[in-house]
Amino acid sequence: MILRSLECRFLTIALCDAAEPWQLGSQDAATPMMQGIIDLHHDIFFFLILILVFVSRMLVRALWHFNEQTNPIPQRIVHGTTIEIIRTIFPSVILLFIAIPSFALLYSMDGVLVDPAITIKAIGHQWYRTYEYSDYNSSDEQSLTFDSYTIPEDDPELGQSRLLEVDNRVVVPAKTHLRMIVTPADVPHSWAVPSSGVKCDAVPGRSNLTSISVQREGVYYGQCSEICGTNHAFTPIVVEAVTLKDYADWVSNQLILQTN
Amino acid sequence: MAAEAKAPSLAEEYSLPPQEAPVEKAVEDKPQEAESIAVTNDETPQADETATAVEVNPETSEVQEVADKSEVEDTNPAAEETTETAEEEAEEKPEIKIETAPADFRFPTTNQTRHCFTRYVEYHRCVAAKGEDAPECDKFAKYYRSLCPGEWVERWNEQRENGTFPGPL
């Protein structure tokens, strides 16, 4: 199992866009946002390792040298100005180095001020999702909307991921700014796609915005991330990113299908 | 729109576009939209599909061929314009317009509830002021339809009919 996971990590050319058994790292980035998150993780990990090594060295050294056998009479120093200053300034500097990229990423992820090209509404229900593409409406009647149900556990076809696949995927164009409006119709849900670096809670009576721009075509899997009832585990999300041209074709086909 | 299709640089991506641009466009598009609808009614579904191809991605050579073909097949003024005029022109023509409510600087937060509500109110105030089919109100209708969940719009429509709508209409 672990081997298979490692194999997927290092040996395959295909990118990981779905959760897999024994996965340790993040899924591969599909948006600049996720790339930023992964990079920040690595940045912080540098400091983490640095601190880990330094602290363990101090700890082990202290235990090694200052015990009853080797050092029976303890020293009685209780105060040292120099070390006080060093151990206050140094951690603050480290925190600063972590905080700068962290805040930079946080505010760039807001992205609300970028003009989007498409608005898609993800509406959480117990226990399925409705997607509304309302940019093409000419009246209050929804012209392009569909429900996205999970494929039951005993029903997947060969090659489909168990409990991750849905019957109707959200089709989005790649390399385009998307505005996802996330809201539920009953209880809190959450719309999360790890490869896109998006996890947006759906709160009843409120509509939340999250902007994504998928950089490569592919199929991305996510799961409901806010406990929403009995079938919480069976409410996956599948995003299919296609080229802008294919997206337009898909929309026009869906419009013809749904209006007839 | 055009900028999106070309994958802008990071600086372009985050620079703020002139605010009035989307509004102007929405107004300009009107006649073209009507034209494209007429086109789809005339043509077979096959031709319809090529028309979509033209509008969305005019940069690739493959699509350029298609554009030429469609020009030969149906000598309609719309296809001729595609090859002659600028790319942006070509993108606006289509039946499927990649266009949505612009980012609004009154609502820069994740919570967009009031954005949707405000657009809905704006539309109905506009209609109340300028009449049922004033073309300048259409853009607000487009915005609130893009932003509001269908269920909310239905509920508000009902409330308006009953006179219990909680907003300043």
Boundary residue ending a domain (A64, A80, A110): A110
pLDDT band at A5 (very low <50, low <70, confident <90, very high): low
- Any CB–CB contact under 8 A between A251 and chain B? yes
Q: Considering only the C-alpha atoms of chain B, give the largest distance between any 2 of them, rounded to a whole number of Å.
A: 57
Q: Which residues pair with B86 in a beta bridge?
A: none
Same domain for A51 and A88?
yes
Distance CA(A18)–CA(A29), nearest Å, equals 11
Q: Percent of chain A beyond pLDDT 90?
A: 47
Question: B95: part of which helix (H) or strand (E)?
Answer: none
pLDDT category at B13 given cuts 50, 70, 90 is: low
Domain count, chain A: 2
CB contact under 8 A, B145 and A116: no
Is the pLDDT assigned to residue A4 strictly greater than 70? Answer: no
Lowest mean pLDDT across A242-256, B96-110, B116-130:
B96-110
| Contact between residue A241 and residue A216 where contact means Cβ atoms under 8 Å apart | yes
Q: Do A119 and B100 touch (CB under 8 A)?
A: yes
Residue A229 lies in a domain: yes
Question: Are A98 and A122 part of one and the same domain?
Answer: no
Low-confidence winner among A99-108, A153-162, A232-241, B100-109 (lowest mean pLDDT): A153-162
**Coil vs helix vs strand at A57:** helix
Q: Could you tell me if residue A50 is left (phi over 0), alpha (psi between -120 and 50 degrees) or otherwise beta?
A: alpha
Percent of chain B with pLDDT over 90: 16
* Residue B18 in contact with partner chain A when CB distance is under 8 A: no
Q: Is B60 left (phi over 0), alpha (psi -120 to 50) or beta?
A: beta
Q: Which residues of B touch A245 (CB under 8 A)?
A: 52-53, 56-57, 63
Quote the CA–CA distance of A39 and A32 in Å, as a whole number: 10
Average pLDDT over residues A172-183: 92
Quote the pLDDT of residue B88: 41
Please indicate, yes or no, if residue A2 is contained in any of the structural domains. Answer: no
Q: Does the pLDDT at position A97 exceed 80?
A: yes
Does residue A101 share a domain with residue A138?
no
Share of chain B above pLDDT 70, in %: 44
Can you tell me the mean pLDDT for A211-220? 90
> If you average pLDDT over residues A63-85, what whole number do you get?
86
- Closest Cα in chain A, distance from residue B64 (Å): 13
Residue A236 counted as domain residue: yes
Whether A9 maps to a domain, the answer reads no
Query: Does A135 map to a domain?
Result: yes
Return the pLDDT at A49.
Answer: 96
A143 touches chain B (CB under 8 A): no
Read off the pLDDT of residues B44-102 as tens digits, 9 standing for 90 and up.
344 344 444 434 443 433 434 434 444 434 444 443 443 433 344 334 334 677 888 88
Please give the residue range of the domain that contains residue A151. 118-259
CB pairs under 8 A between A and B: 130
- Mean pLDDT over B128-150 rounds to 87
Over residues A25-34, the mean pLDDT reads 89
Q: Are residues A237 and A122 in the same domain?
A: yes
CB B149 within 8 A of CB A132: yes
Residues A176 and A245 in one domain: yes
Q: Give domain status of residue A11, yes or no.
A: no
Q: Which of A135, A140, A245 sits opposite B56 (nearest CB)?
A: A245
Distance from the B75 Cα atom to the nearest Cα atom in chain A, whole angstroms: 22
What is the rounded distance in angstroms from the CA atom of residue A130 to the CA atom of residue A151? Answer: 15
- CATH number for the domain spanning A179: value is 2.60.40.420
* Mean pLDDT calculated for residue range A99-114: 84
pLDDT grade for B103, boundaries at 50, 70 and 90: confident
pLDDT on residue A104? 92
Residues 6+ apart with CB under 8 A from B80: B71
Interface of A with B in 59-98 (CB under 8 A): none
Answer whether A173 touches B (CB < 8 Å): yes
Instruction: Using CA coordinates, name the residue in chain B closest to A173.
Output: B5
Q: How far is A213 from chain B (nearest CA, A)?
A: 10
Q: Is residue A3 part of a domain?
A: no
Question: Are A122 and A98 in the same domain?
Answer: no
Q: Are A82 and A101 within one domain?
A: yes
Provide φ and ψ at A123, rounded to 5°. -110, 115
Residue A20 pLDDT exceeds 90: no
A140/A65 same-domain check: no
Backbone angles phi, psi at A200, to 5 degrees: -120, 120
Average pLDDT, chain B: 62
Q: Are B90 and B39 in contact (CB under 8 A)?
A: no
Same domain, A242 and A123: yes
Q: What sections of chain B are H helices per DSSP?
A: 2-5, 10-14, 21-42, 45-56, 61-73, 77-84, 87-92, 113-130, 138-147, 150-162
In angstroms, the CA B92 to CA A176 distance is 16
Is the pLDDT confidence value at A255 over 50? yes
Touching A: B residues 55-94, CB under 8 Å: 55-57, 63, 94
Return the higher-pLDDT residue of B44 and A156.
A156
Contacts of B97 in chain A (CB under 8 A): 135-136
A105 and A138 assigned to the same domain: no
Report yes or no: A105 at the B interface, CB cutoff 8 Å.
Answer: no
Residue A181 has pLDDT above 90, yes or no: yes
Query: A174: closest CA among B8, B56, B5, B91?
Result: B5
What pLDDT band is residue A147 in, cutting at 50, 70 and 90?
very high
Say whether both A133 and A161 belong to one domain: yes
The answer to whether residues A50 and A84 belong to one domain is yes
Q: Which of A4, A28, A2 is nearest to A15 (CA)?
A: A28
Among A110, A143, A160, the domain boundary falls at: A110
Task: Decide: A26 and A196 in contact? Cβ < 8 Å.
Answer: no
pLDDT at A120 over 70: yes
Nearest to A118 among B100, B103, B107 (CB): B100
Which of A79, A110, A141 is the last residue before a domain boundary? Answer: A110
Do A182 and B83 meet the contact criterion of CB atoms below 8 Å apart? Answer: no
Residue A249 lies in a domain: yes
Residue with tokens 């200052």: A66
Percent of the residues in chain A that have a pLDDT greater than 70, as a whole number: 93
> pTM of the predicted model, to two decimals?
0.70
